[in-house]
Structure 1
Amino acid sequence: MPEQYKYPPKSLLFGKVDRQSEVFHKMHESGNQRGEVRLVQHCRTIDSSTHKFYHIHGMNSRHHLDLYFSDKEDMVFGEESFIFPLVNLHYKFSSGHIRGNLLIDISFGSYVHHLYSASNFFKEMVVLKSNEHCIMEVSRWQHDRTGAYDWKHASSFIVGLEGKRDQHEDIEMRLKSCIKQVLKCNFEQENIISPMVLPLADCVFSALLLDVISKNEDEYMRNLEKIIKLLKPQRQLILFGLLDTTYITVGGHRLHFLKYDESFVKNAFNKLGLVIDYCAVQRRRNVSDLIDHGAIIFVVAHKRE
């Protein structure tokens, strides 16, 4: 099997992180034989044509974090939100092939846990958000302001992966000092941070943003192309997305997700000059009407010269 389709060693997931990941693994103990976890929370039935757009209508960023990223035992999205992306990120960063001066993060929501591992390998980070509330949420956490979201469960998980138990405060400080700017981006513009200009990045990370701001596949391609323009040749784009998804529920509202499959992502990368180095896909592990995704995809690719 080609290296790019190998999943990280199971020891990486279940060896070093046995204590901290316990709350996440407990989520699956009550599931069926396929490892599914059932969570059904009813929200009003909404036609897909009335789904809200994250970058246009906004969302309750704290409710999004509490529902999909908290450390509560009834939070069934631990596999999708934490284990799968964080283990894959640690696995790829630890290989030593992804590093440099500048990483640009362009992601949906106000989560930061995916940047902990990266802070070991990049001197500076710039975080781009298309939602003002998410900018405020990230800034509140970064500057230790009252009411900031507590990411201790995520930083503890990461230091477990790194074999540095009880050093979550160090990793928190490392990431906060690494983030130099949190800026507004607008994909209606050719330069999404106009009138500013950033130096080309050694790595661009994007999680779910293309999924929620793109109305169709053509728009996804145009938005992806704008992201690629922020990247140096031969450097890496890391993308995390949800396959076969039409909505996510936040604050009682259903937000639009563009439905696409694995082949669409691979074809889009190829057409826009990206060479896939690594791809991992994991099917859905829970049953919930909060979100209707079929699988998770994690891709690392480099930009052609």
Structure 2
Amino acid sequence: MASRSARCLLYEKLYKAEHILATYIHEDAEFLEEIQLLLTELCGFYSSGDVKGDTLIHYGGCDYLGYLFPACRFFKEIILAEFLETRLQAARTWINKEPGAFDWSLAARIVCELEGNREIGIEKEESLRGKITKFIKCEANEDHPVAPKLPAQVDCVFSTSFLELVCTDVDGFCKVVKDMSSLLKIGGHLVLVLALGCTFWMCGTFKLPVLCLDKECVIAAVSDAGCVIKESKDIKRVNQTKYSVIDYDSVFCLVACKETNVQ
């Protein structure tokens, strides 16, 4: 079996979910406007009516549960797959309403407003808690992250704040996009959220490396994985004052439909 990648080991040692949430996601954080714009785009993807089904697997970013609120009413169950235990623990803490859980109520309220207040925030939070049925620990070997083994293909794979972290080069990135596509049924959907032009982000006092991606690379990888992009949005960075903590240029989000199986 291949050894754990150096990048993965570094993140396992230094990444703390509570530091990331406090810096980038907290409602008083400097990136709130970007979060609102991203939630708006994700709500648009799902409200089209095409991206729905029985099962969605959230690949990575398990401390970013707020980004699942737009999807939760369109799927019967959600599986969380993650390579960092600290992220899985952050998710469990919130789901179980344990002391110290991150407060996702603002994201829930934003999504409820975008959906025309079909639910109130508390109802949205309880809906998401009820949809999350299992946790899977991913692996990241010396070549590229490895998709979890599932008993059956799913209707949607959603990934945020994952590929840029554990992939060290474009080849590895393309391989894991194919891994994600392999989890999908024909006609299923791949939803990706990626930071473009990013080389690092700070987690507390630690500077963690990020794979620098551009839009053309992402589009090519999705196409090579047998998927056709239906909609995408490049959200340009709003806050220009926090380059000391992260140096991304924009957030690129897309929804693609799987049309063919690829090897």
Which of these residues, 33, 46, 51, is aligned with residue 79 of structure 1? 33
Structure scoring higher RCO (CA < 8 A, sep ≥ 6) equals: 1
Deviation string 1:236-272 (CA, Å, 9 cap, x unpaired) is 1000001111001111111111112111111111122
Q: How many residues end up aligned between the 2 structures?
A: 251
Quote the residue 1:133 is aligned against. Answer: 86
Quick one: distance in 2 between partners of 1:218 and 1:249? 25
Give how far 1:106 is off: 0.7
Determine if contact 1:159/1:168 at 8 Å carries over to the other structure.
yes
Aligned to 2:139, what secondary structure does the other structure show?
A: coil
Structure 2: unaligned runs, 5 residues or longer: 1-5
Which of these residues, 63, 68, 81, is aligned with residue 24 of structure 2? 68
Matched, 1:241 2:197: no
Quick one: distance in 1 between partners of 2:255 and 2:218? 12
TM-score, L = length of structure 2: 0.89
Quick one: distance in 1 between partners of 2:62 and 2:208? 12
Deviation string 1:114-167 (CA, Å, 9 cap, x unpaired) is 111211100000011110111111001001112111111111111111222871
Quick one: distance in 2 between partners of 1:290 and 1:211? 16
Give how far 1:233 is off: 1.0
| Aligned pairs (5 A) from 1:1-305 | 55-72=11-28, 75-80=29-34, 82-108=35-61, 110-164=63-117, 167-188=120-141, 192-194=147-149, 197-287=150-240, 288=242, 289-305=244-260
Structure 1: unaligned runs, 5 residues or longer: 1-49
Quote the residue 2:3 is aligned against. Answer: none
TM-score, L = length of structure 1: 0.78
Give how far 1:183 is off: 1.8
Identity %: 27
Aligned residue identity for 1:219:
G
Determine if contact 1:53/1:255 at 8 Å carries over to the other structure.
no
Change (3 A) 1:192 1:166: closer
Give how far 1:217 is off: 0.4
Aligned residue identity for 1:267:
A
Determine if contact 1:116/1:175 at 8 Å carries over to the other structure.
yes
Structure 1 stretch displaced more, 285-294 or 108-117: 108-117
Give how far 1:295 is off: 1.2
Q: CA RMSD in A?
A: 2.0
